[in-house]
Structures are given as C-alpha cells and as structure tokens.
C-alpha cells in the first residue's frame, strides 16, 4: 500500500487547512488510518486515528479543533484542521494499517512521505 498526502501549506494562526491522504495498491484491506506529525527537534507524535468502522481517537492537543474522517470506498483519510496555532507547525504524516497479498497474513503499517504545515503567528 502506498500513501500520498495532499493539502499542506502556510496558514495564519486561527486559520484552517484540510489534509487528504489516498491509499493505492491492489488486493489489500485497511483497518486503522491516522495522522501523525513531527515538529523540528521532536519525535513523531499521534494526531488522530480512525478505524474502518469510524471510531476516532485524538491527541489532547488537537481535540475540539481537528476532525479526522475517511472515505472507505476510496481509501482516503482526511484531517480538517481549524483554529490552527503556531505549535501545530510540523510535517504531517498519514499512516494506514493494512493486510494484503504482500504481507504474508500479517497486518503492516504504511506511511506517507509527509506534508508540511506551517502556521504563522
């Protein structure tokens, strides 16, 4: 499974951005999809996840501001980011847990390349 993220950019504090991430490949099934971020000098951290059944989980730092959603028919996950703050500046990575012909019956994780989000104060 390959993941490609779209939608990063530069935005002023208080503004909004929407990230998208599309999964491509054949013969696979995806369970959890998520977004993680890595700020300069920091480790990659969870932002939000969503299961194929629609159950969501958010980090405390984004609750009430970010919304994760997905289109299972298109294998796309979205992250709507509102009320952005300077501390949201980071490279955002999408992730998918999948199983398929290439995984020998095991669940694997795939990561996208990342998209830069910069929030100016």
Strand order in the sheet with 66-71: 2-6, 17-24, 76-81, 66-71
Intervals of the chain under pLDDT 70? none
Taking alpha carbons only, the member of 9, 57, 2, 54 closest to residue 35 is: 57
What pLDDT is attached to residue 103?
86
What pLDDT is attached to residue 26?
84
What pLDDT is attached to residue 104?
86
Which pLDDT tens digit goes with each residue over 36-59?
A: 999 999 999 999 999 999 999 999
What pLDDT is attached to residue 105?
86
Mean pLDDT for the chain overall: 96
């Amino acid at each position: 499974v390959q993941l490609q993220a779209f939608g990063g950019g530069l935005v002023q504090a208080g503004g909004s951005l929407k990230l998208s991430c599309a999964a491509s490949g054949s013969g696979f099934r995806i369970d959890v999809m998520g977004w993680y971020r890595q700020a300069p000098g920091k480790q990659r951290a969870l932002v939000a996840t969503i299961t194929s059944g629609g159950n969501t989980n958010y980090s405390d730092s984004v609750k009430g501001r970010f919304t994760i959603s997905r289109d299972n028919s298109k294998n796309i996950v979205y992250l709507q980011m509102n009320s952005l703050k300077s501390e949201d500046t980071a490279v955002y990575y999408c992730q998918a847990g999948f199983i398929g012909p290439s995984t020998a019956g095991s669940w694997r994780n795939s990561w996208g390349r990342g998209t830069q989000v910069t929030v100016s104060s």
